[in-house]
Amino acid sequence: MTKHGFFRRALRPGVYLLMALIGGAFGSAAGAQTPTAPEAPAAGRVVTITPAVPSGPYVADPSYYDYDRKSPVVVDEKPYQDTHGIKVTRITYQSPVTTPFATNDTVVAYLFMPSGAGPHPVLIVLPEWLPRNMKNEFQFCEDVTKANTAALLIESPFSLERRPVPHTPDAELLSGNMPQMVGAIRQNVLDVRRAMDWLETRPDIDSSRIGMSGISLGAIIASLAAGVDRRAKVLLSIDGGADAAGLLWKSPFMKGLHKQLVQHGYDYEDLKVGLAPIEPTNWLKGYGAENALLVNGRYDMFILPKQSQLLADAIGGAPIVWANTGHYGLVLAEKKASTVGAEFLRARFFNSGKAFNPPQTIAAPTIKLGLMLGGRGGFSPAIATQLINFDQKGRYSLDGQLTFRGISLGLSGRISQFNSVGIEFPLLHGEIKPKPYLLMHLVL
């Protein structure tokens, strides 16, 4: 994963936090995508109808994700790149779902094949929500091939090449129109199942060794897909979790989407019922903890640690490898996360005979962005990075800090997910006189 992508995407949540702390309001990526000139849906297209959710307590019904599995998969393959022995092929095929937008119904994917003789196991990878590009996902897939495993990266509905231009509010993976949102995520799962059908026809792929993986929202949908279609024998979730309704309704970073849902007349109970068919925990019973691995940020404020734990518990207590960072900080620990993931894939796909014992924690930069009260500056925006951690969970640390008054060191201790207290030691600007401070922050 590239550092450049981290800093571009890290800017937005930092701005949201600063706005909130000085009395503003959080925004959402969904709200930022509203077009000025909506595209009219293609006329004359017979749209696939998403099945209605039955009333009463939800019971997972496999027929909800039915499609015509016997129909042939017509795939167009074009060489894309060949570097370091990794051959990447761009493929397209028709989605089993027909939406009003023809652009969205052509699935675009990239197959990464390792060098050496096959047949190879394969990991299907789903990207984050609305990526500007897939540089991070490409790097991850290349790292997967180092475990002698092929990777198939599938673009999500209504993103990148599948996004109608000019855009329209009806063409979103996540939106305030709940039936549209559920239908789009169902389409994502069916696109994955269709890809499995195609992989089963390839002699260079061992279809008995298929895995699912994803990043952020992609990890949530990958978990759902693995539960729906058990041809996916392993699950590698990065920055993922469960509790779809809670994520969309309660997260301050989804305030724009929350507003849209309210405008459509939904409340939280409506959302829990309506999203039940796409809630991963409803589908993962019996999957087997040994078949899954989660990698998450211990101080993630987008997908909370308790939501990551909820997913792990649904899989029977799957292990979580924690990094002392937030949602975006895992980007800077990509190599360590990929190394752990590759070890997991080797253990599950190749019967190495060695037990897989994941580490409890992997090292990752812990970057805090927020407002400092006290210290030398009195009141100032601040950015801090934990230089030395004094415990495994990174609760107590020596931080390097930058405020309007310059750089300093801080002996810091967490009092909550969002707040730290400490003693500041100013550097390079006057007497090094310790001063207490409170830092209200998010962790990137």
Predicted confidence at residue 29, as pLDDT, reads 37
Task: List, for residues 287-341, the tens digit of each pLDDT value.
Answer: 999 999 999 999 998 999 999 999 999 999 999 999 999 988 888 888 889 899 9
pLDDT in tens, the chain (444 residues): 333 343 334 444 443 443 333 333 323 333 333 333 445 556 667 899 999 887 778 899 999 999 999 999 999 999 999 988 899 999 999 999 999 999 999 999 999 999 888 899 999 999 999 999 999 899 999 999 989 999 999 999 999 999 999 888 889 999 999 999 999 999 999 999 999 999 999 999 999 999 999 999 999 999 999 999 999 999 999 999 999 999 999 988 899 999 999 999 999 999 999 999 999 999 999 999 999 999 999 999 899 999 999 999 999 999 999 999 998 888 888 888 989 999 999 999 997 667 789 999 999 999 999 999 998 778 899 999 999 999 999 999 999 999 988 899 999 999 998 999 999 998 876 667 899 999 999 998
Predicted confidence at residue 26, as pLDDT, reads 29
Return d(Cα 390, Cα 242) in angstroms, integer: 31
* pTM (2 d.p.): 0.88
Predicted confidence at residue 4, as pLDDT, reads 37
Task: List, for residues 77-122, the tens digit of each pLDDT value.
Answer: 999 999 888 999 999 999 999 999 999 999 999 999 998 888 999 9
The verdict on whether omega for the bond into residue 119 sits within 30 degrees of 0, i.e. cis, is: yes
Q: Helix, strand, or coil here: 3?
A: helix
In order of 10, 158, 175, 244, the CA distances from 182 in angstroms are 28, 13, 9, 11
In 3D, which of 212, 210, 200 has the Cα closest to residue 231?
210
Predicted confidence at residue 44, as pLDDT, reads 66
- 346-384: b or e for each residue (b if 16 or more CB lie within 10 Å)? bbbbeeeeeeeebeeebebbbbbbbbbbbbbbeebbbbb
Predicted confidence at residue 41, as pLDDT, reads 59
Strand partners for 154: 109
Q: Helix, strand, or coil here: 388?
A: strand
Residue 185: CB atoms within 10 Å: 24
